[in-house]
Homo-oligomer: A and B are copies of this chain.
Protein backbone atom coordinates (compact mmCIF):
# COMPACT_ATOMS: atom_id res chain seq x y z
CA UNK A 1 0.00 0.00 0.00
CA UNK A 2 1.23 3.51 -0.83
CA UNK A 3 0.60 6.00 1.97
CA UNK A 4 1.30 9.66 1.30
CA UNK A 5 1.50 12.13 4.17
CA UNK A 6 1.50 15.94 3.91
CA UNK A 7 3.49 17.13 6.88
CA UNK A 8 4.70 20.09 8.84
CA UNK A 9 7.33 19.64 11.52
CA UNK A 10 6.88 18.39 15.06
CA UNK A 11 3.30 17.04 15.11
CA UNK A 12 3.64 15.55 11.67
CA UNK A 13 6.89 13.79 12.51
CA UNK A 14 5.50 12.23 15.65
CA UNK A 15 2.44 11.01 13.77
CA UNK A 16 4.60 9.50 11.03
CA UNK A 17 6.65 7.64 13.65
CA UNK A 18 3.45 5.97 14.77
CA UNK A 19 2.51 5.24 11.20
CA UNK A 20 5.87 3.57 10.52
CA UNK A 21 5.58 1.42 13.64
CA UNK A 22 2.07 0.23 12.78
CA UNK A 23 2.06 -0.03 8.98
CA UNK A 24 2.12 -3.32 7.16
CA UNK A 25 5.49 -4.67 6.01
CA UNK A 26 4.77 -3.88 2.36
CA UNK A 27 3.31 -0.43 2.97
CA UNK A 28 5.45 2.41 1.68
CA UNK A 29 5.26 5.90 3.08
CA UNK A 30 6.00 9.08 1.16
CA UNK A 31 6.16 12.32 3.13
CA UNK A 32 5.60 15.63 1.36
CA UNK A 33 7.00 18.23 3.72
CA UNK A 34 6.24 21.91 3.98
CA UNK A 35 9.14 24.10 2.91
CA UNK A 36 7.44 27.46 3.34
CA UNK A 37 9.04 27.89 6.76
CA UNK A 38 12.47 27.66 5.12
CA UNK A 39 14.61 30.66 5.88
CA UNK A 40 17.92 32.11 4.73
CA UNK A 41 19.94 33.18 7.73
CA UNK A 42 23.61 34.14 7.59
CA UNK A 43 23.64 32.78 4.07
CA UNK A 44 22.51 29.36 5.27
CA UNK A 45 19.51 27.66 3.70
CA UNK A 46 17.54 26.30 6.64
CA UNK A 47 14.60 23.91 6.14
CA UNK A 48 13.08 23.43 9.58
CA UNK A 49 10.24 21.07 8.66
CA UNK A 50 12.33 18.83 6.41
CA UNK A 51 14.95 18.62 9.15
CA UNK A 52 12.44 17.90 11.90
CA UNK A 53 10.95 15.02 9.89
CA UNK A 54 14.40 13.72 8.95
CA UNK A 55 15.89 13.98 12.44
CA UNK A 56 12.79 12.53 14.12
CA UNK A 57 12.48 9.53 11.85
CA UNK A 58 16.27 9.09 11.75
CA UNK A 59 16.48 9.13 15.55
CA UNK A 60 18.62 12.25 15.65
CA UNK A 61 16.01 14.57 17.15
CA UNK A 62 16.06 16.07 20.60
CA UNK A 63 12.84 14.45 21.80
CA UNK A 64 12.23 16.78 24.68
CA UNK A 65 12.48 19.92 22.57
CA UNK A 66 10.82 18.32 19.56
CA UNK A 67 13.19 20.01 17.09
CA UNK A 68 16.93 20.18 16.52
CA UNK A 69 19.60 17.61 17.22
CA UNK A 70 20.10 15.40 20.20
CA UNK A 71 23.28 15.99 22.21
CA UNK A 72 23.38 19.50 20.77
CA UNK A 73 25.75 22.35 21.67
CA UNK A 74 25.09 26.04 21.13
CA UNK A 75 28.51 27.62 20.82
CA UNK A 76 27.98 29.23 17.43
CA UNK A 77 24.66 30.70 18.57
CA UNK A 78 26.23 32.05 21.76
CA UNK A 79 28.98 33.67 19.71
CA UNK A 80 26.44 35.26 17.38
CA UNK A 81 24.78 36.78 20.41
CA UNK A 82 28.17 38.01 21.68
CA UNK A 83 28.71 39.65 18.29
CA UNK A 84 25.40 41.40 18.92
CA UNK A 85 23.79 39.83 15.87
CA UNK A 86 20.06 40.38 15.88
CA UNK A 87 19.22 37.04 14.24
CA UNK A 88 20.77 35.12 17.12
CA UNK A 89 17.18 34.43 18.20
CA UNK A 90 17.12 31.54 15.74
CA UNK A 91 17.78 28.15 17.31
CA UNK A 92 20.98 27.33 15.47
CA UNK A 93 22.62 24.34 17.15
CA UNK A 94 26.20 23.40 16.29
CA UNK A 95 25.34 19.91 15.03
CA UNK A 96 22.31 21.23 13.20
CA UNK A 97 24.50 23.79 11.42
CA UNK A 98 26.25 20.95 9.58
CA UNK A 99 22.96 20.01 7.91
CA UNK A 100 22.45 23.63 6.82
CA UNK A 101 26.03 23.81 5.54
CA UNK A 102 25.61 20.70 3.41
CA UNK A 103 22.28 21.93 2.06
CA UNK A 104 23.62 25.42 1.31
CA UNK A 105 26.72 24.06 -0.40
CA UNK A 106 24.75 21.66 -2.59
CA UNK A 107 22.19 24.28 -3.59
CA UNK A 108 25.05 26.62 -4.53
CA UNK A 109 26.48 23.79 -6.60
CA UNK A 110 23.21 23.77 -8.52
CA UNK A 111 21.48 20.78 -6.95
CA UNK A 112 17.78 20.97 -6.18
CA UNK A 113 16.30 20.86 -2.70
CA UNK A 114 14.90 17.41 -3.58
CA UNK A 115 18.34 16.15 -4.47
CA UNK A 116 19.90 17.56 -1.31
CA UNK A 117 17.10 16.10 0.80
CA UNK A 118 17.74 12.68 -0.73
CA UNK A 119 21.46 13.04 0.00
CA UNK A 120 20.86 14.03 3.63
CA UNK A 121 18.42 11.13 4.01
CA UNK A 122 21.10 8.69 2.92
CA UNK A 123 22.59 9.33 6.30
CA UNK A 124 19.40 9.54 8.33
CA UNK A 125 17.53 6.64 6.76
CA UNK A 126 14.15 7.97 7.85
CA UNK A 127 12.27 4.94 6.53
CA UNK A 128 10.09 7.10 4.28
CA UNK A 129 10.58 8.78 0.95
CA UNK A 130 10.92 12.39 2.06
CA UNK A 131 10.06 15.01 -0.56
CA UNK A 132 10.00 18.78 -0.23
CA UNK A 133 6.68 20.15 -1.49
CA UNK A 134 8.63 22.18 -4.06
CA UNK A 135 12.20 22.85 -5.17
CA UNK A 136 11.30 26.50 -5.66
CA UNK A 137 11.75 29.12 -3.01
CA UNK A 138 8.59 29.74 -0.99
CA UNK A 139 8.49 31.68 2.28
CA UNK A 140 5.67 32.30 4.68
CA UNK A 141 5.59 35.91 5.83
CA UNK A 142 3.38 37.19 8.58
CA UNK A 143 1.80 40.62 8.70
CA UNK A 144 1.62 41.78 12.29
CA UNK A 145 0.55 44.88 14.08
CA UNK A 146 3.46 46.16 16.16
CA UNK A 147 2.46 49.16 18.26
CA UNK A 148 -0.01 50.32 15.64
CA UNK A 149 2.41 49.85 12.77
CA UNK A 150 1.99 47.14 10.15
CA UNK A 151 5.08 45.01 9.78
CA UNK A 152 5.82 42.00 7.56
CA UNK A 153 8.17 39.47 9.11
CA UNK A 154 9.31 35.96 8.28
CA UNK A 155 7.25 33.22 9.86
CA UNK A 156 10.29 32.02 11.83
CA UNK A 157 10.71 35.43 13.39
CA UNK A 158 7.03 35.48 14.30
CA UNK A 159 7.11 31.97 15.69
CA UNK A 160 10.46 31.87 17.48
CA UNK A 161 11.37 35.43 18.28
CA UNK A 162 7.87 36.69 19.07
CA UNK A 163 6.68 33.28 20.28
CA UNK A 164 3.56 33.79 18.17
CA UNK A 165 2.23 36.11 20.87
CA UNK A 166 1.38 38.99 18.54
CA UNK A 167 -1.91 39.45 16.66
CA UNK A 168 -1.72 38.31 13.06
CA UNK A 169 -3.30 40.40 10.34
CA UNK A 170 -2.17 38.51 7.28
CA UNK A 171 -0.26 35.45 6.13
CA UNK A 172 1.46 35.64 2.76
CA UNK A 173 3.04 32.51 1.35
CA UNK A 174 5.48 34.36 -0.81
CA UNK A 175 6.43 32.76 -4.10
CA UNK A 176 3.94 29.92 -3.84
CA UNK A 177 1.91 30.97 -6.88
CA UNK A 178 4.98 30.47 -9.08
CA UNK A 179 6.21 27.30 -7.37
CA UNK A 180 6.04 23.90 -9.03
CA UNK A 181 5.57 20.68 -7.09
CA UNK A 182 8.89 18.91 -6.57
CA UNK A 183 9.52 15.78 -8.69
CA UNK A 184 7.38 12.91 -7.46
CA UNK A 185 4.98 14.99 -5.39
CA UNK A 186 1.98 14.96 -7.71
CA UNK A 187 2.57 11.29 -8.53
CA UNK A 188 2.78 10.41 -4.82
CA UNK A 189 -0.63 11.98 -4.24
CA UNK A 190 -2.35 10.73 -7.36
CA UNK A 191 -0.88 7.24 -7.02
CA UNK A 192 -1.50 6.88 -3.29
CA UNK A 193 -3.81 4.38 -1.67
CA UNK A 194 -4.22 6.68 1.32
CA UNK A 195 -3.45 10.37 1.76
CA UNK A 196 -3.05 11.48 5.37
CA UNK A 197 -2.81 14.91 6.99
CA UNK A 198 -1.22 14.64 10.43
CA UNK A 199 -2.06 17.20 13.12
CA UNK A 200 -0.02 19.96 11.48
CA UNK A 201 -0.79 23.66 11.45
CA UNK A 202 -3.49 24.34 8.81
CA UNK A 203 -2.18 27.81 7.91
CA UNK A 204 1.60 27.54 7.87
CA UNK A 205 2.17 23.81 7.31
CA UNK A 206 -0.68 22.16 5.39
CA UNK A 207 -1.81 25.46 3.81
CA UNK A 208 1.41 26.18 1.89
CA UNK A 209 1.67 22.58 0.65
CA UNK A 210 -1.86 22.69 -0.73
CA UNK A 211 -1.21 26.14 -2.20
CA UNK A 212 1.52 24.92 -4.57
CA UNK A 213 -0.18 24.94 -7.97
CA UNK A 214 -0.84 21.34 -8.96
CA UNK A 215 -0.93 19.89 -5.45
CA UNK A 216 -4.51 20.90 -4.64
CA UNK A 217 -5.51 19.55 -8.06
CA UNK A 218 -3.71 16.28 -7.31
CA UNK A 219 -5.57 16.00 -4.01
CA UNK A 220 -8.85 16.68 -5.80
CA UNK A 221 -8.06 14.01 -8.38
CA UNK A 222 -6.55 11.21 -6.30
CA UNK A 223 -8.64 8.06 -5.99
CA UNK A 224 -7.25 7.68 -2.45
CA UNK A 225 -9.29 8.72 0.59
CA UNK A 226 -7.85 11.85 2.24
CA UNK A 227 -8.03 11.84 6.02
CA UNK A 228 -6.74 14.44 8.46
CA UNK A 229 -6.17 14.69 12.18
CA UNK A 230 -7.25 17.84 14.00
CA UNK A 231 -4.35 19.88 15.38
CA UNK A 232 -6.82 21.41 17.84
CA UNK A 233 -8.18 19.71 20.92
CA UNK A 234 -10.90 21.59 22.75
CA UNK A 235 -10.43 25.28 22.04
CA UNK A 236 -6.68 25.37 21.50
CA UNK A 237 -3.74 24.08 19.55
CA UNK A 238 -2.02 21.01 20.96
CA UNK A 239 1.30 22.79 21.09
CA UNK A 240 -0.47 25.94 22.17
CA UNK A 241 1.22 28.56 20.03
CA UNK A 242 -0.99 28.68 16.95
CA UNK A 243 -4.03 30.30 18.54
CA UNK A 244 -3.30 33.91 17.57
CA UNK A 245 -2.36 32.83 14.10
CA UNK A 246 -5.64 31.03 13.55
CA UNK A 247 -7.94 33.59 15.13
CA UNK A 248 -6.20 36.38 13.26
CA UNK A 249 -7.22 34.69 10.04
CA UNK A 250 -10.80 34.18 11.14
CA UNK A 251 -10.58 30.47 11.80
CA UNK A 252 -12.74 29.25 14.63
CA UNK A 253 -10.54 27.75 17.34
CA UNK A 254 -11.96 24.24 17.21
CA UNK A 255 -11.49 20.95 15.42
CA UNK A 256 -14.48 21.84 13.27
CA UNK A 257 -13.09 25.30 12.55
CA UNK A 258 -9.92 23.80 11.08
CA UNK A 259 -11.87 21.16 9.14
CA UNK A 260 -14.11 23.86 7.70
CA UNK A 261 -10.99 25.79 6.69
CA UNK A 262 -9.60 22.77 4.82
CA UNK A 263 -13.05 21.94 3.41
CA UNK A 264 -14.52 18.67 2.20
CA UNK A 265 -13.27 17.23 -1.08
CA UNK A 266 -16.87 16.87 -2.16
CA UNK A 267 -17.07 20.66 -2.20
CA UNK A 268 -13.63 21.47 -3.59
CA UNK A 269 -11.70 21.15 -0.33
CA UNK A 270 -8.95 18.81 0.86
CA UNK A 271 -10.60 16.26 3.14
CA UNK A 272 -12.74 13.15 3.06
CA UNK A 273 -12.37 12.35 6.72
CA UNK A 274 -11.38 14.10 9.95
CA UNK A 275 -10.39 12.83 13.33
CA UNK A 276 -11.19 14.83 16.45
CA UNK A 277 -10.38 14.14 20.07
CA UNK A 278 -12.83 12.14 22.14
CA UNK A 279 -13.44 15.27 24.22
CA UNK A 280 -14.65 16.95 21.02
CA UNK A 281 -17.10 14.17 20.13
CA UNK A 282 -19.95 16.69 20.27
CA UNK A 283 -18.58 18.21 17.05
CA UNK A 284 -19.16 15.04 14.99
CA UNK A 285 -22.58 16.15 13.67
CA UNK A 286 -21.21 19.51 12.55
CA UNK A 287 -18.33 17.77 10.77
CA UNK A 288 -20.70 15.37 9.03
CA UNK A 289 -22.75 18.35 7.98
CA UNK A 290 -19.58 19.64 6.27
CA UNK A 291 -19.54 16.44 4.23
CA UNK A 292 -16.80 14.72 6.20
CA UNK A 293 -16.53 11.21 7.59
CA UNK A 294 -15.64 12.11 11.18
CA UNK A 295 -14.60 10.07 14.17
CA UNK A 296 -13.67 10.91 17.76
CA UNK A 297 -10.58 9.12 19.09
CA UNK A 298 -7.83 10.04 21.57
CA UNK A 299 -5.58 12.58 19.79
CA UNK A 300 -2.87 13.24 22.39
CA UNK A 301 0.37 11.63 21.22
CA UNK A 302 1.88 11.47 24.69
CA UNK A 303 3.87 8.29 24.15
CA UNK A 304 4.49 5.59 21.56
CA UNK A 305 1.32 3.74 22.57
CA UNK A 306 -1.08 6.65 22.09
CA UNK A 307 0.76 7.75 18.94
CA UNK A 308 0.54 4.30 17.37
CA UNK A 309 -3.12 4.09 18.26
CA UNK A 310 -3.80 7.43 16.56
CA UNK A 311 -1.95 6.33 13.41
CA UNK A 312 -4.02 3.12 13.35
CA UNK A 313 -7.27 5.03 13.88
CA UNK A 314 -6.38 7.37 11.03
CA UNK A 315 -5.55 4.57 8.61
CA UNK A 316 -8.71 2.77 9.70
CA UNK A 317 -10.94 5.77 8.99
CA UNK A 318 -9.29 6.13 5.60
CA UNK A 319 -9.92 2.45 4.83
CA UNK A 320 -13.55 2.72 5.87
CA UNK A 321 -13.99 5.69 3.53
CA UNK A 322 -12.25 3.79 0.73
CA UNK A 323 -14.48 0.76 1.31
CA UNK A 324 -17.63 2.86 1.26
CA UNK A 325 -16.91 4.12 -2.24
Interface residues in A3-58 (C-beta closer than 8 Å to B): 41-45
Contact A102 B83 (CB under 8 A): yes
Q: Is residue A95 contacting chain B, with contact meaning CB distance below 8 A?
A: yes
Contact A99 B123 (CB under 8 A): no
Interface-facing stretch out of A74-82, A139-147, A179-187: A74-82
Q: Which residues of B contact A75 (CB under 8 A)?
A: 72-73, 75, 94-95, 98
Nearest Cβ on chain B to A101's Cβ, whole angstroms: 4
Nearest Cβ on chain B to A131's Cβ, whole angstroms: 20
Oligomer: number of copies: 2
Nearest Cβ on chain B to A175's Cβ, whole angstroms: 19
Interface size class of A (residues with CB under 8 A): 20 to 34
Partner of A44, one of B79, B85, B95, B101: B101
Contact B79 A99 (CB under 8 A): yes
Assembled-state Cα–Cα distance A190/B97 (Å): 44
Contact A95 B76 (CB under 8 A): yes
Main secondary structure of the interface of A (DSSP, over half): helix
Contact A104 B73 (CB under 8 A): no
Nearest Cβ on chain B to A135's Cβ, whole angstroms: 18
Contact B84 A123 (CB under 8 A): yes
Chain B: CB-nearest residue to A42: B101
Q: A43-B43, A101-B43 are known contacts. Are A94 and B82 too (CB-CB below 8 A)?
A: no
Contact with B along A264-306 (1 / 0, CB 8 A): 0000000000000000000000000000000000000000000
With contacts A72-B75, A77-B98 known, what are 18 further pairs, Cβ within 8 A? A42-B102, A43-B105, A73-B94, A75-B75, A75-B94, A75-B98, A76-B98, A79-B95, A79-B97, A80-B101, A80-B102, A83-B120, A83-B123, A84-B123, A85-B101, A85-B102, A85-B105, A94-B97
